[in-house]
Amino acid sequence: MKKKLVSCFLVMAMAVSTLAGCGAKNTNSSEASSVPAQEEALEFTGYPINTEQQLTLWTNQIKPSSTISNWKESPFHTGLAEKTGIDIDYTFPTSGTDEKQAFNLMLSNEELPDIIWYSFAADAESLLEDGIIRDLTDLLPKYAPNYWKFLQENPLYYKSMMTDSGKFFGFGFFREDLWQTAYAGPMVRKDWLDECGLPIPETIEDWEITLKAFKDKYDARLVFCNDGIMNPGLAGAFGAYGTSEMRLYIDEDGKVQLAQARDEWKNYISWLHKLNQEGLIDPDIVTIDGAGLKTKVTNDKCGITLYMMSTMDTFIQDAKANGSPAKWVGCPYPVMNKGDKPSAIFYEDPVVNTVAGISTNCPEEKVELALRWLDYPFSEEGFYYWNFGTEGDTYTMENGEAVFTDKITKNELGTGEAIKLYTGTYGWGLGVQALGMVRQKLNPEVVKAGDTWYEGNGDTCNWVYPNSVTMTPDEITESSTIYNAMSTYVKEMAIKFITGEESLDNWDNYINTLNDMGMEKMLEIRQAAYDRYLAR
């Protein structure tokens, strides 16, 4: 049985949604959701809990800061044990290893850890059916009251943390404000614009003028990274929803569509091809990544691009450290005509796919303890600790708001590294990521950029295919096989269309190939899963 389950996961893990797998212990859902045996023994009266029990946890999240050797030296991790009274034995994937492979390896072990924290929301139903994680439906109201209250007060999150069959499967990570989900967008060198006598670009025509000016004056080009951050990229100006990475989206009629099979995408790619023909796109389009982008920026070979807030923050810090006059600012997502709205901007589902579940290997006498530990981030004290650290040490309260102290803002490691060292939601964590923490960790100019990207565009975010849509094991197997093959083909053809290696005159052949690969069946499966999600 174990070999069959792990094999199942290896197929599932190839899907574009980060998929979870199958484990070693098979316990039916009624057993897995039974009330913990230690109910009377724990006598929970608040945090910290007086216990000598230790929990084991496997995760690729909250890895300790790179400035220390391991989590045992981490102020956040050790402080969390003091705050909760619960000792956690953390296991993280080895640095540099493929995290999906590390997850598969963990699942192949005879004994699963007590808590599994990974990106498995889309496959929770399968994990429950296979007896890998526990059904928490009957346990949350009693042993995780803070989390349960949070879910009840937020219908979207409530629906997202249950399966199609109505079972609650884990503890999620959420954001306090939708502004935090739009953390990537266009950015430009304002000093170059000023030298060229140009305004902040707003339309596609403005972008072309800016790109030509930057090429002529500085020999700089649009650096175009071919990864998930470039979805949708600048596609929104054309009514499209993706770039080179295959992307599903929800249209205005509630139908699941493939962005790269629509005429609007063809128009967008045609425009990118035009820019490339004019020498306005960096020639390393096939291989460039975030690190390569940073190198181009440092060498003044890029003055306009689209990437993450944290990357822009790095540009600003590096310019200051190097004595460069570069002044990076955010610019709005381009539109075809002034006054238009883009059909899509970069936007991450407010329900992050990463989830912490309790495995069926967790002994009954430890289940409540695991629930209490996972519930802590959703308490008031836990919210502040996970986001800001310890009051009076790393933050103080000013006018009802948590404000980082000099220990963070003037730390010799830098504000970002200090926040990573003392808090748990710098990237992804547990609980609710505070808007105030995010704004304080960024350069003020980057915060302004975020305002520019998101302002007036909040309602364009409804196109995102939700992370919490789940498929049955059979659907996963069939859909993933089709999706993976199509994903490779779509990215390959997108690059060829942009570079001109493949003519857009062959568009019909491209669509026919997608149909032959099973596009209609894949969309049918995804639509059925989405409809079940809506019906929860």
Whole-number Å distance between alpha carbons of 243 and 238? 11
**92 and 129 fall within a common domain:** yes
**Tokens 């491209």 found at:** 510
Q: Among 294, 282, 303, which Cα is nearest to 321's?
A: 294
Q: Convert the pLDDT of each residue in 428-481 to its tens digit.
A: 899 999 999 999 999 999 999 999 999 888 777 789 999 889 888 899 899 999
Segment 409-416 long-range contacts (CB within 8 Å, at least 24 positions apart): 409/440, 413/67, 414/317, 415/440, 415/441, 416/310, 416/313, 416/441
Which tokens belong to 211?
């790109």
Residue 90 lies in a domain: yes
Find the mean pLDDT for residues 176-192.
Answer: 95
Residue 157 lies in a domain: yes
Amino acid 10: pLDDT: 43
**231 and 148 fall within a common domain:** no
Q: Convert the pLDDT of each residue in 27-80 to its tens digit.
A: 444 444 555 554 446 789 999 999 999 999 999 999 988 899 899 999 999 999
Amino acid 7: pLDDT: 42
Last residue of a domain, one of 384, 413, 433: 433
Amino acid 122: pLDDT: 85
Q: Are 172 and 431 in contact (CB under 8 A)?
A: no
Whole-number Å distance between alpha carbons of 485 and 29? 34
Q: Are 148 and 140 in contact (CB under 8 A)?
A: yes
Q: Among 172, 169, 203, 174, which Cα is nearest to 186's?
A: 203
Whole-number Å distance between alpha carbons of 104 and 12? 11
Amino acid, res. 478: E
Task: For residue 450, report the phi and psi dihedrals to the nearest 5 degrees.
Answer: -60, -40
CATH number, domain of 279, equals 3.40.190.10
Q: What is the mean pLDDT of the chain?
A: 91
**161 and 263 fall within a common domain:** no
At residue 330 the predicted structure's pLDDT band, cuts being 50, 70 and 90, is very high
* Other Cβ atoms closer than 10 A to 304: 22
Helices (DSSP H) in 338-472: which residue ranges? 364-375, 380-388, 406-409, 415-422, 435-441, 444-454
Percent with pLDDT over 70 in the chain: 92
**196 and 174 fall within a common domain:** no
Q: Convert the pLDDT of each residue in 206-225 to its tens digit.
A: 999 999 999 999 999 999 88
Q: Are 311 and 293 in contact (CB under 8 A)?
A: yes
**283 and 336 fall within a common domain:** yes
Amino acid 11: pLDDT: 42
| E strand or H helix that includes residue 237 | none
**Tokens 């230790």 found at:** 54
Residue 355 lies in a domain: yes
Q: Are 441 and 415 in contact (CB under 8 A)?
A: yes
DSSP 416: H
Helices (DSSP H) in 64-199: which residue ranges? 75-84, 99-108, 124-129, 140-143, 145-153, 155-160, 190-196
Residue 314 lies in a domain: yes
Last residue of a domain, one of 411, 433, 455: 433
Amino acid 33: pLDDT: 53
Residue 208 lies in a domain: yes
**325 and 452 fall within a common domain:** yes
**134 and 79 fall within a common domain:** yes
Q: Are 352 and 173 in contact (CB under 8 A)?
A: yes
Q: Are 485 and 454 in contact (CB under 8 A)?
A: no
Residue 468 lies in a domain: no
Q: Among 286, 265, 315, 316, which Cα is nearest to 223's?
A: 286
Query: How many residues are present in the chain?
Result: 536
In the chain, the N- to C-terminal Cα span, in Å, equals 31
At residue 194 the predicted structure's pLDDT band, cuts being 50, 70 and 90, is very high
Task: For residue 60, report the phi and psi dihedrals to the nearest 5 degrees.
Answer: -105, 10
**158 and 200 fall within a common domain:** no
**276 and 135 fall within a common domain:** no
**150 and 193 fall within a common domain:** no
DSSP 302: -
**265 and 385 fall within a common domain:** no
Q: Are 231 and 242 in contact (CB under 8 A)?
A: yes
The reported pTM is 0.86
Residue 249 lies in a domain: yes
DSSP 18: P
Whole-number Å distance between alpha carbons of 232 and 307? 11
**316 and 361 fall within a common domain:** no
DSSP-based helix, strand, coil % in the chain, nearest 5? 50, 10, 40
Distances (CA, A) of 396 to 79, 386, 421, 512: 17, 14, 17, 61
Q: What is the domain extent for residue 28?
A: 2-178+351-433
Number of domains in the chain: 3
